[in-house]
Amino acid sequence: MTIKYVMDVPSRGPTQNKKGAVKVKRNTRYIDKLLAIQECSALEANEIGFIARFLIQATLPHSNPRLNEWCRKNGNLTMHMMAPSAVGLPFGCYARLLLVWVSSQAVRNKSKLDKGFITEQEARKLELGRSQRRFMEDLGLRSTGGKNGSINPFREQMRRLFKTTISVTFAELNEESGYICEDEMGARVADISHILWSAKQPEQDFSWESWVELSPKFFQLITDKPVPLDMRVLRLIKRSPMALDIYCWATYRVSYLKRVTIIPWLGLMEQMGSNYADVKDFRRRFNDGLEKVQRAWPGLDATPTDKGLLIKPGAPQVPRRKKYRTEGY
């Protein structure tokens, strides 16, 4: 892989030079991360994460929907989300990263459960750590305070997610008989959550850990044939909910793609669009997100066209292997 990096380093004034040096340093770190992803697989780097398939087929809102109900449809799958009106629905980057973390921990615990090392209730109980700072660092996030800091928005997304109820419906039409068969499973994300973190001192460690206990049905939903991801890529594109959706979707789609396919823009918009004015607006946002993903995954052969996204078969960024599903890593 050949990586170009172009840096605009101001040439005048001490303040400008300092800013230019910071920019160079950030760009250098970014290039180093890209190279590390290309040179070492996620499995070798111990950076495998997981996401449930239905959360790829139908995604969360990108921005605040300001509603307490959300529905996405993709073919025969429909996902419906509902949250208390006083709380609101989870959305954006933090909610997605939280769901990947929750799914990854659940998959690993499911492996221990299958081997008889822990009980079913223990498998559903996820430890969040002794401080918010440590937990956010596990997700590749910085904990910053203040009006525009990350601490309060992150905590708000946790609160929204754990209080949300998600239902997934699969509908299948038998053309000969005319009957429609619908299978539905619904569950609140968490049965119980116990979070004791300091709002004023998020770095403060407590003597006991915060935790969340997933509901049995939600635990079942997210551990059924999960899709493996590279956590390093997610951390690289963590600021864009669209890029996060595209990466997860492309990783899954390429894993079974057999021929060149054009996916219409309207279909993509119904699956992962959120509050966009029209298809044109969605395409612009999608193309920006795709560009971010392809920097980290240059092997993704996907090209925007007038009709839709043209995607060609290739090697998945993280291969789907049996050991991921049975051993959970």
Does 39 score more than 60 pLDDT? yes
Sequence-distant (≥ 6) Cβ neighbours of residue 270 within 8 angstroms:
72, 73, 74
Does 6 score more than 60 pLDDT? no
Give the percent of the chain with pLDDT over 90. 61
CA gap 325, 153 in Å, rounded: 32
CA gap 233, 293 in Å, rounded: 8
What are the chain's domains? 1-39 (no CATH), 45-235 (no CATH), 237-314 (1.10.10)
- Identify the pLDDT of residue 10: 45
CA gap 122, 124 in Å, rounded: 5
Does 57 score more than 70 pLDDT? yes
- The pTM of the full predicted model, rounded to 2 decimals, is 0.86
Q: Which two tokens stand for residue 317?
A: 């960024």
Does 269 score more than 80 pLDDT? yes
SS3 (DSSP) at 164:
coil
- Identify the pLDDT of residue 328: 42
Instruction: Please measure the distance between the N-terminal and C-terminal CA atoms of the chain and give it in whole angstroms.
Output: 27
- pLDDT class for 324, splitting at 50, 70, 90? low
SS3 (DSSP) at 79:
strand
Per-residue pLDDT tens for 194-216?
A: 988 876 776 677 667 899 999 99
Per-residue pLDDT tens for 125-168?
A: 999 988 888 899 989 899 888 888 899 999 999 999 999 999 99
Contact between 228 and 318 (Cβ < 8 Å): yes
Residue 296, CA distances (Å) to 37, 203, 242, 250 in order: 7, 31, 15, 13
